[in-house]
């Protein structure tokens, strides 16, 4: 299968990115699929207007991917902007996309409620996302539950195009593992850079500890029994633990005598054990920016090789001459 997914380099990678996306990226590569993983720096312009920070975060996200185990010999890692053909495809798709389809997108409404300005980039975000997916003929798109509607919009846009011009575009399917569809943040809401409630994968040891120990809890005392199913701490801890271990933790929550500080320490210890090697590799990559750039250039070439035939077919279908 052809797999595609991307992440906005508008902030530092966090637990939600790993369990909601990167973990699945690694699985798809291990299964031998043709995988395209891009850094959506065009998308990031809807929320980040700082040239230096965008450049830094984009390069950093590529290093994060490599540190977490994505092998550039087995998948394409590239910057969205290094495949400019995607913007041409976006325009062509825009001409068949109904306004009502975009007006119904909940992500647009949510971001407006968060205080972002209602500009065209934010409104048309799903069409660019559709172009990202369709240009490589992706079969499956690993996404979080909150992005499922955008994949449905991509499917609708592709169907509108195919209905007008013939069966040119592949209709993709979302891939959302239910057990990690939404990773909770420190405040109980979905973990998101937008909410400033993340636990960052590559922050300093001290900052990781601060973030974990700031996870919100209720006022229950150590001696009181606690409901694990209503606990944000339990929801985060179980990301790291086996079913047997989680059953033991659940029993301790219900029995009383368990302090929240102990649970937070367990999360911290599990975090460091899980990501220790990746964090060391990430520090090494900070000294190898030329290697990271080579990876991005190689990935862009792979994406262009996949995208050019599709864009050529789209141009032919709509009556735009190919150069």
Q: Which of 74, 109, 140, 193 is catalytic?
A: 193
Cβ neighbours of residue 262 under 8 Å, at least 6 residues apart?
none
**Euclidean distance between CA atoms 262 and 174, whole angstroms:** 38
**What angle separates helix 125-134 from helix 85-94, to the nearest 10 degrees?**
120
Angle at 27 between CA 287 and CA 208, to 5 degrees: 50
Which residue in the list 140, 190, 226, 264 is annotated as catalytic? 190
Q: Say whether 283 is catalytic.
A: no
| Alpha-carbon gap, residue 306 to 290, rounded angstroms | 25
Question: Which residues lie below 8 Å from residue 136, measured CB to CB, with a gap of 6+?
Answer: 2, 4, 36, 303, 306, 307, 310
Residue 74: active-site member: no
Q: Of residues 111, 140, 226, 264, which has the active-site annotation?
A: 111
Query: In this structure, how many other beta carbons lie within 10 angstroms of the beta carbon of residue 178?
Result: 7
- Phi, psi (degrees; rounded to nearest 5) at 19: -75, -25
Other Cβ atoms closer than 10 A to 15? 25
Q: Is 264 considered catalytic here?
A: no
Supply the residues annotated as catalytic: 111, 190, 193
């Amino acid at each position: 299968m052809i797999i595609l997914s991307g992440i906005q380099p508008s902030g530092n990678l966090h637990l939600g990115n790993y369990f909601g996306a990167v973990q699945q990226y690694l699985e798809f590569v291990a299964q031998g699929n043709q995988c395209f993983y891009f850094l959506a720096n065009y998308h990031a312009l809807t929320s980040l207007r700082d040239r230096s920070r965008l450049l830094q975060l984009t390069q950093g996200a590529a290093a994060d991917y490599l540190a977490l185990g994505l092998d550039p010999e087995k998948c394409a890692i590239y910057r969205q902007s290094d495949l400019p053909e995607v913007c041409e495809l976006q325009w062509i798709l825009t001409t068949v996309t109904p306004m009502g389809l975009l007006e119904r997108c909940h992500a647009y409404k949510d971001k407006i409620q968060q205080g972002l300005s209602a500009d065209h980039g934010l409104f048309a975000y799903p069409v660019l996302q559709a172009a990202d997916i369709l240009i490589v003929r992706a079969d499956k798109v690993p996404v979080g539950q909150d992005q499922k509607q955008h994949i449905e919009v991509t499917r609708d846009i592709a169907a509108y195009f195919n209905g007008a011009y013939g069966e040119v575009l592949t209709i993709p399917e979302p891939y959302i593992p239910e057990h990690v569809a939404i990773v909770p943040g420190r405040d109980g809401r979905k973990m998101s850079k937008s909410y400033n409630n993340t636990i960052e994968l590559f922050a300093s040891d001290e900052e990781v500890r601060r973030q974990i120990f700031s996870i919100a809890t209720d006022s229950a005392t150590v001696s009181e029994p606690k409901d694990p199913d209503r606990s944000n701490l339990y929801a985060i801890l179980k990301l790291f633990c086996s079913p047997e271990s989680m059953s033991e933790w659940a029993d301790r929550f219900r029995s009383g005598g368990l302090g929240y500080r102990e649970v937070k320490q367990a999360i911290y210890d599990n975090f460091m054990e899980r990501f220790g090697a990746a964090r060391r590799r990430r520090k090494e990559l900070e000294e190898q920016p030329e290697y990271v750039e080579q990876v991005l250039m190689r990935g862009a070439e792979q994406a262009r090789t996949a995208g050019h035939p599709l864009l050529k077919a789209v141009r032919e279908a709509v009556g735009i001459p190919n150069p």
